Chains A and B, each alone.
Chain A
Amino acid sequence: MTDRYPPYPYTPPPGLGAPEPRHPVVIVGAGPVGLSIAIDLAQQGIRCVVLDDGDTVSVGSRAICWAKRTLEIFDRLGVGETMLAKGVTWQVGRLFHGEKQVWEFDLLPETGHKYPAFINLQQYHVERMLLERAHAFPDLIDLRFRNRVTDHAERGDHVELIIETPDGDYTLEADWYLACDGARSATRSRMALPFEGQSFEERFLIVDVEMPQSPFAVADRPERWFWFAPPFHEGQSALLHKQPDDIYRIDLQLGPDADPEVEATEERVLPRIRAIVGDTPFRLDWMSVYRFRCAMLDNFVHGRVIFVGDSAHVVSPFGARGGNGGIQDVDNLGWKLALVLKGEASSALLDSYDDERRHGARENILHSGRATNFMTPKSEMEALLRHEVLRLAETQPFARRLINSGRLSQPCSLDGRPLQTRGEAPIAPGSAMPDAPVVGKNGCRWLIEALQGRFVLLGVGGAVLPEVPGLESVIVGPRGSGAEVEDTEGLVEQRYGRGAYLLRPDGHVCAFFDTPQVEEVKEALARAKGGFL
């Protein structure tokens, strides 16, 4: 097995000896978000320095669920397949109320997509894979571990940073400062930015156990078990699901009064786990007690300082929207910042990152807040209504849908936001592009591979595409048509209908045309690059 926490060496940075030339981008934080934005920029030829105070990947059990859209973004960043191969794809979900199974559901989505609805993969694996990918750009990504940013100041046309290393402090200058420094962002505190939202009193115990023997009926068919009022854990909720390397995650709701010091001890944890898994032998791998909150910044872009990921917004983990939301931030910001740095768009384009991703964060906070509220009733009536929902769910399909143990992260729709040209279409402007199997002359097998990463005009169902200077067009034709990309199973046409789609580099539809004309496509493209902001 690969080393879970590979050491990332510290090397004294050049800035300790002599001032470094100004950098176009400095990224503070090498979590999943900081590393992903570094790779995204590098793929577009933009150099960056990544500073992290640690010297290895994320320690312990944090994010484990990665949603389909995130995997599609990781695919564009060159790491999706590695993650899919290592990750656990869930299949069966079971929901229990007390002793009773209320509901069993199939988690496999419709076929004809490269990536499943979600996989489970430990954050330390995700970060390691991102780091390995980042190493593929030695000339563009300058990774600096044990480099802690202690101060920064905006100086008009650049930002100045003070960085602490084992060999002392040094200074860097950057055109853009990306604050990817996580939920407790020191950048945010230094700037005294309000970070408001809802805090939940409830405490949760998060435990990872290594268990070679599967608890599921069919050993290689991973399941996700969720209990309301489990028989083994008085009055609360519990969750069990599988991660790679025979590691299982168990979340136990402890109530608001639990003492984290007392609860995160073997004496308390071992009996709880035994109550769930019975005699199956296991080894305790990690335990911690959390309290969650949902909060976000009023603005993600402050001059030359841009907040990305947890530094900009935090959510409770129900629905797995934290890391997944952060990767969507990256997807949204990467191409915009690259266009601005290349002088192909004005910095006003970055305001659309703020607008679109604050919209995404609000949506994530809404959903995870609702799930947390469902899991932690605040009054007798809330508890009663929930109890009745769970009872009705045994027979009533509508009540099943009300049970909320977390609504999994969905791609955020940017419909109606200023970069999109309004219009009716089978895939509405603002939506993330749905995938489909294809065969491309360049060897690609999926539509996301054929289209993501640049502006593309996509023609489906025989649409005739005009020549638009500086815009690549891709025609998808039926099997055997000899088109550049062939719709092998007819699913592209089934999903997209007939017409032309203008797609952004992040795979979101920004305009649709029945019969595209040069001028209107040009105008939509200019709009998507922030030309009319």
Chain B
Amino acid sequence: MTEEDRLGPAGDAVYEALMKAHQGLSAEHSHALNARLVLLLSNEVGDATRLRELFAAARDMGFATDRREI
């Protein structure tokens, strides 16, 4: 998994675009959209080793029970 910031100055715009993609969707549809995105992005990345690292890294970050910022 890369430690490098690859989005750079486009970060804000990309984040906004992701929010827009979910805008107005029910939680159920947002879920479906995320699932679809993970599949599409997996194909974009294409490299099985990197994908496995990403899946593991995402999982290993754990899940906060305390989400005060929400």
Give the B-binding residues of A (Cβ under 8 A). 381, 384-385, 387-389, 391-392, 396, 398-399, 402
Cα distance A391–B39 in the bound complex, in angstroms: 11
- Contact between chains at B32 and A388 (CB < 8 Å): yes
B35: which of A388, A398, A402 is its contact (CB, 8 Å)?
A: A388
Q: Is the CB of B43 within 8 A of A388?
A: no
Find out whether the CB atom of A399 lies under 8 angstroms from the CB atom of B39: yes
Q: Are A396 and B35 in contact (CB under 8 A)?
A: no
Chain A interface helix/strand/loop/mixed: helix
B10 to chain A, nearest CB (A): 25
Complex contacts, B35 vs chain A, CB 8 Å: 381, 384-385, 387-388
Interface residue total, chain B, C-beta cutoff 8 A: 8
Do B32 and A398 touch (CB < 8 A)?
Answer: no
- Binary flags per residue of B41-55, CB closer than 8 Å to A gives 1, else 0: 001000000000000
Query: What is the CA–CA distance of A399 and B40 in the complex, to the nearest angstrom?
Result: 9
Write the nearest CB–CB distance from B59 to chain A, whole angstroms: 13
| B36 on interface, CB distance cutoff 8 Å | yes
Q: Verify A398–B43 contact, CB threshold 8 A.
A: yes
Is the CB–CB distance between A385 and B39 below 8 Å?
Answer: yes
Interface string of B14-38 (1 = CB under 8 A from A): 0000000000000000011001101
Give 15 pairs: A residue, B residue, CB < 8 Å, sorted on A: A381-B35, A384-B32, A384-B35, A385-B35, A385-B38, A387-B32, A387-B35, A388-B39, A389-B39, A391-B36, A392-B36, A392-B39, A392-B40, A396-B40, A396-B43
> How many angstroms from the CA of A392 to the CA of B43 in the assembled complex?
12
| Residues in A whose Cβ lies below 8 Å from that of B43 | 396, 398-399
* Chain B interface mostly: helix
A299 to B36, CA, bound (A): 42
Contacts of B40 in A (CB 8 A): 392, 396
Closest A residue to B31 by beta carbon equals A384
CA distance A385 to B42 in the complex (A): 13
Q: Which residues on B sit within 8 Å (CB–CB) of A387? A: 32, 35
A522 to chain B minimum Cβ distance, whole angstroms, is 40
8 closest residue pairs by CB, A with B? A398-B43, A388-B35, A388-B36, A384-B35, A385-B35, A388-B39, A392-B39, A384-B32
How far, in whole Å, are A321 and B31 apart by their CA atoms in the complex?
A: 35
Q: Smallest Cβ distance from B45 to chain A, in angstroms?
A: 11
Taking the nearest CB of chain B, how far is it from the CB of A366, in angstroms?
Answer: 15
Give every chain A residue within 8 A of B39 (Cβ-Cβ).
385, 388-389, 392, 399, 402
A399, chain B: closest CB distance, angstroms: 7
**Cβ-closest chain B residue relative to A383:** B35
Chain B residue nearest to A385 in the complex (CB): B35
Chain B residues within an 8 Å CB radius of A389: 39
Smallest CB separation, A147 vs chain B (Å): 51
Residues of B within 8 Å of A388, CB to CB, are: 32, 35-36, 39
CA distance A389 to B38 in the complex (A): 10
Q: Report chain A residues within 8 Å CB of B31.
A: 384
B32: A residues at CB distance < 8 A: 384, 387-388
A533 to B38, CA, bound (A): 47
Query: Smallest distance from the beta carbon of A407 to chain B beta carbons, Å?
Result: 16
In the bound assembly, the distance between CA atoms of A384 and B38 in angstroms comes to: 12
- Contacting residues, chain A, for B36 (C-beta < 8 A): 388, 391-392
- Residues of chain B lying within 8 A (CB to CB) of residue A402: 39
Report the minimum CB–CB distance from A194 to chain B (whole Å).
Answer: 30
User: What is the bound-complex CA distance between A387 and B40, given in angstroms?
Assistant: 14
Cα distance A389–B37 when bound, in Å?
A: 11
Chain B residues closer than 8 Å to A396, beta-carbon distance? 40, 43
Q: With A and B bound together, what is the CA distance between A52 and B58 in angstroms?
A: 54
Which of chain B's residues has its CB closest to A380's CB? B31
